[in-house]
A = this chain, B = another copy of it.
């Protein structure tokens, strides 16, 4: 028996012993902690067995699969430049509104996330139990924010904060549409007790300003109110325990026609057909401020307190949106329901033309799954590009039963990956047309070159002089580089200025500065001879936009 076979056999024996241990603990109804820590030990053994068996196979190098995990991607330099542009635009708007930023860990204690996401809890990534606390990767930024506020109620019970960070969901990815398992969220939230709808209106104002600043093209913000929606369901005769599931069905009206949604309510969720029909008379309505007046004429609806409260909120909200000049950017849409459980007031969602699935012969394509179980991305839209709403009880869930609305909150989350996929496509199209774009992969301004004899130490000296002046500069890391090879870099990287070192000029204390872009400028063919002592100033003047 070979050494590695022996090791495998030994490991299998250890597994067997460990199985016995778990069995006896389980049979004797030992405390759960004891059982689960022994199961964890078993898992470790199983992992060891896996590694032994890999090394037994010969341990050949180069057999590793070179890929990122499913649903994740690398961000190469051009994408990163665009991402930085997108984030700084968003941060500028958020901080103009006085928001501060916080950060929380990528993983939270598992119990913090438990019971917050309804059916979607199955999409949470757990960390392996390696001894110590049980943790999960964050699913969104809202629950960690609520946990943060609940932990620091005195200092941060009133806070306007933004948070731009990655979140994790074990969902079916659609990579080309900006749907990943690891993705960024950009959240802006206002926590604290204030007069009705004032922070809510500002969130919508921030949303409009952000999407305008990102220049993603036309968009609409759908607007609704959870209290109003719940009142409609109650008035139509939906039993209390079915409200959330019927609400989910209604939320599909952006992707599916009414007939299908009704079928789901009646056939799958057991709602009487006449109740579904009554729901239909409400949720197919949309409009603007005038819809408030229309609903107020509905005597049955106005018997319901929640409807009265919801409509009062909407009335105020429209008044404030009018002052902010953004009323024409929103649509009061009774079909908007939003999936998450924790919303308690106004809800909203921004969509663009790309939000819907591509249409075939006029009708939206049904989302399809390919033979291998993967999504067919050509049948998927990018979905909403931003969403949010009021959630008055989430912080309270962390504060104990006595304080359910300890810190009311309202916020908006920008679906930045979807925004990004729209902008990247546009950038790549512009580059394919040969246009010079403001977002570049690399931002070097000066390339320091040798015209002969290497001059390595001299090139280093010139670069250091430029770096110290804050000028972005590079040189080729060769002792004796060819002139052609150096110019090839300048062309490929679109570097605007070349500084040329020649032995004769160097001896006189001068170098030559040559403008590479806009070569047709008169008299710039051979560049300008500049004393070394004046180089940084000269280069800065050439690079400043006014020159």
| Shortest beta-carbon distance from A97 to chain B in Å | 7
Q: How far is the CA of A150 from the CA of B126 in the complex (A)?
A: 29
Task: Please report the C-alpha to C-alpha distance between residue A441 and residue B161 in the assembled complex, in whole angstroms.
Answer: 11
**A62-B400, A128-B129 given as contacts; is B320 within 8 A of A460 (CB)?**
yes
Contacts of A27 in B (CB 8 A): 12, 16
How many copies of the shown chain assemble into the complex? 2
The answer to whether the Cβ of A95 comes within 8 Å of any Cβ in the partner chain is yes
* Number of chain A interface residues as a range: 35 or more
Question: Which of these binds chain B: A64-72, A328-336, A505-513?
Answer: A64-72
In the complex the two chains form, is A477's CB within 8 Å of B46's CB?
no
Which B residue's beta carbon lies closest to that of A150?
B66
Given the complex, which residues of B lie within 8 Å of A190, measured CB to CB?
477
Query: Contacts A36-B50, A66-B151, A130-B125: A98 and B166 contacting too (C-beta < 8 A)?
Result: no
In the complex, which residues of chain B have a beta carbon less than 8 angstroms from the beta carbon of A194? Answer: 477-478
> Which residues of A, 173-226, contact B by the 8 Å Cβ criterion?
182, 190, 192, 194-195, 198-199, 201-202, 205, 209
In the assembly, what is the distance between CA of A27 and CA of B9, in Å? 10
Q: B26 and A100: CB pair below 8 A? A: no
Chain B residue with Cβ nearest A193:
B477
Closest Cβ neighbor of A184 among chain B residues: B103
> Looking at A43, A65, A456, which has the most chain B CB atoms within 10 Å of its CB?
A43
- Decide yes or no: A460 and B324 within 8 Å by CB, A74-B102, A101-B80, A161-B77 being known contacts: yes
CB neighbours of A504 from chain B (8 A): none
Q: Considering the chains assembled together, what is the distance between the CA atoms of A23 and B96 in angstroms?
A: 62
Contact B70 A132 (CB under 8 A): yes
Q: Which residue of B lies closest to A322 (CB)?
A: B457
Known pairs A42-B42, A47-B36; A98 contacts B66 (CB<8 A): no
What is the bound-complex CA distance between A68 and B62, given in angstroms?
39
- Provide the bound-state CA to CA distance between A155 and B46, in Å: 39
- Which of B23, B77, B147 is close to A16, meaning CB atoms less than 8 Å apart? B23
Q: Which of A236-244, A283-291, A338-346, A463-471 contacts B (4 or more CB under 8 A)?
A: A463-471
- Are the CB atoms of A105 and B32 closer together than 8 Å? no
Query: Of B73, B107, B479, which is within 8 A of A195 by CB?
Result: B479
In Å, the complex CA distance between A130 and B71 comes to 15
Chain B residues, CB < 8 A from A160: 474
Bound CA span A104–B66, Å: 13
A100, B80: Cβ atoms closer than 8 Å: yes
Kindly state whether residue A323 has any CB partner on chain B within 8 Å.
Answer: yes
Ranked 4 nearest A-B pairs via Cβ: A62-B400, A194-B477, A77-B100, A72-B105
- Having A16-B23, A32-B50, A198-B456, one finds 7 other A-B pairs with CB under 8 Å, namely A36-B47, A43-B129, A67-B151, A72-B105, A77-B100, A84-B101, A92-B470
